[in-house]
Amino acid sequence: MTPVIGVTATLKQDVDAVAQRPLGRFVRADLDYVEGVAEAGGMPVVLPPLGDSRAVEALLDGLDGLLLSGGSDLDPSYYGEKPVPELGDTVPERDRFEMRLLGYALRRGMPVLGICRGLQVLNVALGGTLYQDLPSQMDHPVLLGHRQETPKWEPTHEVKVDGGSQVAEIMASDELKVNSYHHQAVKDLAYGLVSVAHAPDGVVEAVEWGDLSQRWLVGVQWHAEAMRDVGAEHRNLFEAHVCAAERHALCRAAA
């Protein structure tokens, strides 16, 4: 059985024009996520941000797993805060869609992998909060530059993974070199999640559900999809997610 993995996309505004008329918005999904799922043995399906709750549930009916991709900042109203001046662009349609989508997925026990923004959405949906902007809000004497300007497949800092964690087992390593393209991060960790990897400045780099045998939820702050050719540990994340989705599909079929 090939598990079907939903990969969230975002909306982009096309600023070009045809016959003096704007082309409007279009759905965009990074191919690296799609290829990561396919290479791991899953069937990727790109999920456009839909507003209707019945349509969202219908999407989930055909899925065995969910991958929350990276992208824009999450509106801080979802964790009870007002925007700070340093907040980046938000996409309200995407925020509403992903929070609703994730809520339904969690109720169904669906395996979820969150990458960068996806980790942040996962944390907030379960009751946690975020640093809206690390440089202006996180108090650390030597804060790393988490927005690298080098190519996305190049590592920019190290990450220490808790040796006894499921993430360490999945990645077969407790020390990683990762890329970094974010200015938001986990602040208060949601109940049920465990922070299992950190950057040298203390920024949370990976989370997992307390017991992955009961619920498969994993989030990483770096862009693992862009580093699949750098090391097997990054590919392992996709493979573990696809395997969890396959088990979920088999359990559904047997029910």
Q: Could you give the residue numbers annotated as active site?
A: 116, 223, 225
The residue whose two tokens read 């349609």 is: 93
Residues in the chain: 255
User: Which of 117, 50, 52 has its CA nearest to residue 90?
Assistant: 117
User: How many angstroms from the chain centroid is the CA of residue 240?
Assistant: 15
Rounded distance, CA 35 to CA 148, Å? 23
